[in-house]
């Protein structure tokens, strides 16, 4: 019992020596934390150092425990997760006031544990994803976290970007955030379309460790859903690349990758080497698999696309069909003869230059 009291007696004696140097009512100096930690909120697994001025027995390095607390001598368990280093420092100052006279406490972040979330549904790369805090480059120079590709805001939109962006089938009006709480999982539905249409992302949700984001599939094809899909494709939530297939009368038929903001039919044809001398500029079509499972066909004219009188943005999975001169009349005759079956055959056999 006596041995346990010795550190406390030392602290009291040191406080008595320090007290005369500080006048009552005077501002208490504080030790500022690193600029890199400002605004950062602690989480389980973070390694921190607590410094109590003039009391080395109370200063120590430790990790934030899985339950979000730290253990402090003479105080016990203190909640750390969810607080900034500055907030934790102020909490410890208040706790130490019953033990020390004029306590001066600082908290420094030594190492951070990345934020882990799950993103499922209509995203390009569904599954678990890991954030590294934006300030990790400063706090952990030279470590694996010093990789720009993993840095980003720990928000809902940041997680969608980390998951490769939204697919064209995403229903951005009904995104669900599932968060584990002491009372069980809690769900919140978020309308991202409101933010995209207004440009106001001030309410972007801050994520916590273990959150799950669900992006549902839009229920049906409609002009409104088409408009939303096109808007998403030109936003920061779009995939980093749009992958389409170009077949028919082009010089290098195959798969091409487009940037979201340059996803025009003309750019896709250009990346496929451009049209051949046999290409029919009036006989271009885009085949797209609808949500219903039906193949949709969008007829286009190369010259109208070039002069801007016709526009069309492709999506990942589209197939661009460039017809051959002389096949137009054959296509019309076969379509009239075969009816709906001709539409299917036209898609299946186009690469073999049988353009029904």
The mean pLDDT value of the chain amounts to 77
Report the phi/psi class of residue 225: left, alpha or beta, with left for phi > 0 and alpha for psi in -120 to 50: alpha
Task: Please tell me the predicted confidence (pLDDT) of residue 346.
Answer: 53
Kindly state whether residue 183 falls inside one of the protein's structural domains.
Answer: yes
Q: Are 191 and 101 within one domain?
A: no
| pLDDT band with cut points at 50, 70 and 90 for residue 249 | very high
Q: Are 81 and 142 within one domain?
A: no
Percent of the chain with pLDDT over 90: 36
Last residue of a domain, one of 111, 139, 174: 111
Give the CATH number of the domain where residue 95 resides.
Answer: 3.30.1950.10
Q: Are 158 and 129 within one domain?
A: yes
Kindly state whether residue 99 falls inside one of the protein's structural domains.
Answer: yes
Q: Are 295 and 342 within one domain?
A: yes
Kindly state whether residue 237 falls inside one of the protein's structural domains.
Answer: no
CB 82 within 8 A of CB 42: yes
**Among candidates 99, 104, 71, which has minimal Cα distance to 89?**
104
Kindly state whether residue 227 falls inside one of the protein's structural domains.
Answer: no
Kindly state whether residue 233 falls inside one of the protein's structural domains.
Answer: no
Last residue of a domain, one of 111, 127, 160: 111
Q: Are 135 and 198 within one domain?
A: yes
Q: Are 91 and 122 within one domain?
A: no
> From the centroid of its chain, how far is CA 185?
21
Last residue of a domain, one of 89, 111, 133: 111
Domain that holds residue 212: 115-220
pLDDT digits (tens, 9 = 90+) for 7-49: 444 444 444 333 333 333 333 333 333 334 446 788 888 999 9
Task: Please tell me the predicted confidence (pLDDT) of residue 196.
Answer: 83
Task: Please tell me the predicted confidence (pLDDT) of residue 39.
Answer: 63
Which pTM does this prediction carry? 0.61
Kindly state whether residue 87 falls inside one of the protein's structural domains.
Answer: yes
- Mean pLDDT on 80-102: 92
Q: Are 312 and 270 within one domain?
A: yes
Task: Please tell me the predicted confidence (pLDDT) of residue 105.
Answer: 95
- Mean pLDDT on 189-201: 84
Q: Are 158 and 194 within one domain?
A: yes
Percent of the chain with pLDDT over 70: 74
Q: Are 120 and 101 within one domain?
A: no
Task: Please tell me the predicted confidence (pLDDT) of residue 347.
Answer: 52
* Measured CA distances, 89 to 107, 109, 118 (Å): 6, 12, 32
Q: Are 6 and 37 within one domain?
A: yes
pLDDT digits (tens, 9 = 90+) for 257-279: 988 777 789 999 999 999 999 99
Q: Are 126 and 92 within one domain?
A: no
Task: Please tell me the predicted confidence (pLDDT) of residue 31.
Answer: 34
- Cα separation, 121 vs 335, whole angstroms: 38
Please give the tally of structural domains in the chain. 3
Give the CATH number of the domain where residue 131 resides.
Answer: 3.10.560.10
Kindly state whether residue 138 falls inside one of the protein's structural domains.
Answer: yes
Kindly state whether residue 96 falls inside one of the protein's structural domains.
Answer: yes
pLDDT digits (tens, 9 = 90+) for 275-332: 999 999 899 999 988 777 788 899 999 889 889 888 888 888 899 999 998 755 455 5
């Amino acid at each position: 019992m006596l041995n346990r009291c010795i550190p406390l007696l030392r602290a009291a004696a040191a406080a008595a020596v320090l007290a005369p140097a500080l006048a009552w009512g005077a501002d208490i100096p504080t030790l500022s934390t690193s600029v890199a930690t400002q605004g950062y909120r602690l989480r389980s697994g973070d390694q921190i150092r607590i410094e109590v001025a003039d009391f080395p027995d109370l200063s120590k390095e430790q990790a934030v425990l899985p339950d979000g607390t730290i253990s402090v001598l003479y105080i016990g368990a203190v909640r750390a997760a969810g607080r900034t280093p500055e907030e934790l420092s102020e909490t410890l100052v208040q706790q130490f006031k019953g033990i020390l006279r004029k306590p001066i406490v600082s908290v420094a972040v030594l190492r951070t544990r990345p934020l882990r979330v799950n993103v499922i549904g209509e995203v390009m790369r569904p599954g678990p994803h890991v954030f590294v805090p934006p300030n990790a480059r400063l706090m952990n120079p030279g470590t694996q976290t010093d990789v720009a590709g993993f840095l980003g805001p720990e928000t809902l939109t940041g997680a969608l970007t980390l998951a490769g962006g939204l697919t064209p089938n995403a229903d951005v009006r009904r995104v669900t955030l599932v968060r584990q709480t002491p009372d069980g999982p809690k769900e919140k539905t978020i309308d991202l379309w409101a933010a995209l249409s207004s440009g106001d992302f001030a309410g972007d949700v801050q994520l916590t460790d273990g959150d799950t984001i669900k992006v549902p599939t839009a229920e049906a094809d409609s002009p409104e859903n088409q408009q939303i899909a096109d808007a998403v494709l030109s936003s920061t939530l779009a995939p980093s690349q749009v992958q389409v297939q170009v077949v028919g009368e082009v010089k290098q038929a195959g798969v091409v990758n487009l940037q979201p903001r340059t996803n025009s039919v003309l750019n896709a044809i250009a990346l496929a080497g451009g049209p051949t001398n046999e290409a029919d500029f009036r006989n271009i079509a885009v085949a797209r698999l609808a949500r219903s499972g039906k193949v949709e066909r969008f007829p286009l004219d190369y010259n109208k696309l070039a002069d801007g009188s016709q526009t069309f943005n492709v999506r990942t999975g589209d197939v661009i069909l460039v017809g051959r001169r002389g096949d137009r009349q054959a296509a019309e005759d076969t379509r009239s003869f075969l009816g709906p079956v001709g539409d299917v055959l036209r898609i299946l056999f186009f690469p073999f230059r049988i353009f029904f």
